[in-house]
Structure formats: C-alpha cells, structure tokens
Amino acid sequence: MNANRCDQVRWATSVSGEPPLPARADLSALKAQLEECCRARGRMFSMQCVVEALSSLVVTRPMTTVAVVVILLILYELSLASWA
C-alpha cells in the first residue's frame, strides 16, 4: 500500500526570493495542523461530504427537494402496485 501522504509533505517559506527561514514553532504548529487534517480524512470522510452536499441542497432548494421526494414516493408506490 502507498505510504501516508501526510508523512511526505514538506514545507518551506520564504519572502522576496530569500532563502527560507522557518521558525521551529511555526513548523511544529503547521505539522500539528496537517496531522489533524489527515486524521479528519478518515473512513467516514466521503459520507460526511455526501451528507454536507445533500444538506446544502435541501436548505437552498426546499420546494425542489419536496417535489423530488414526492415524485420518488409516487414511483415507489406505483412499482409496488405493479408487483401486486
């Protein structure tokens, strides 16, 4: 399996083309932040993305969402009726 991408991240900062002079405190804080981000992308990350996308759809388009749900329920009932 591939190595953890978070272990491969390298950072260097510089201003105006000067050589990078990273402070140890800055780099340790950045490393802690990157580790936290990598832990956040666990097994449920894709599910969280889907739920967030659906939530934003429902909040921004409530009437469209209701119409789609009603249509799906009608189609489901029609499919059940055809089997009976």
- Give which of 3, 39, 10 is closest to 27, Cα–Cα: 10
Name the pLDDT band for 76 (thresholds 50, 70, 90).
very high
The packing angle between helices 45-60 and 62-83, to 10°, is 110
The answer on pLDDT for 43 being more than 80 is: no
Of the candidates 12, 4, 10, the residue with the CA atom closest to the CA atom of residue 41: 4
> What predicted TM-score, i.e. pTM, was given to this entire model?
0.41
